Amino acid sequence: MLPHVPFYFLRHGETDWNRRRVMQGHIDIALNEVGIRQAMDVAPAVAQLPIKTICVSTLSRARRTAEIVNVNNAPIVVLDTLKECGFGVYEGQDSNGPWREGWMAGGAIEGGERRVDYIARVHRALNEALSHPAPVLIVAHGGTFWAMEELLGEIVHVQNCTLFEMTPPPADRKHWKATQLACPVEPPLAIGHGR
Q: In Å, how far are 3, 6, 11, 53, 93 from 56, measured between CA atoms?
A: 18, 17, 10, 10, 25
Helices (H), 114-178: 115-129, 142-152
Is 113 assigned a catalytic role? no
Picking from 136, 96, 156, 175, the residue whose alpha carbon sits closest to that of residue 9 is 136
How far is the CA of 8 from the CAs of 28, 42, 70, in angstroms?
23, 13, 13
Catalytic residue among 12, 123, 141, 149: 12
Catalytic residue among 14, 84, 91, 154: 84
Catalytic-residue membership of 123? no
User: Which residues are part of the catalytic machinery?
Assistant: 12, 84
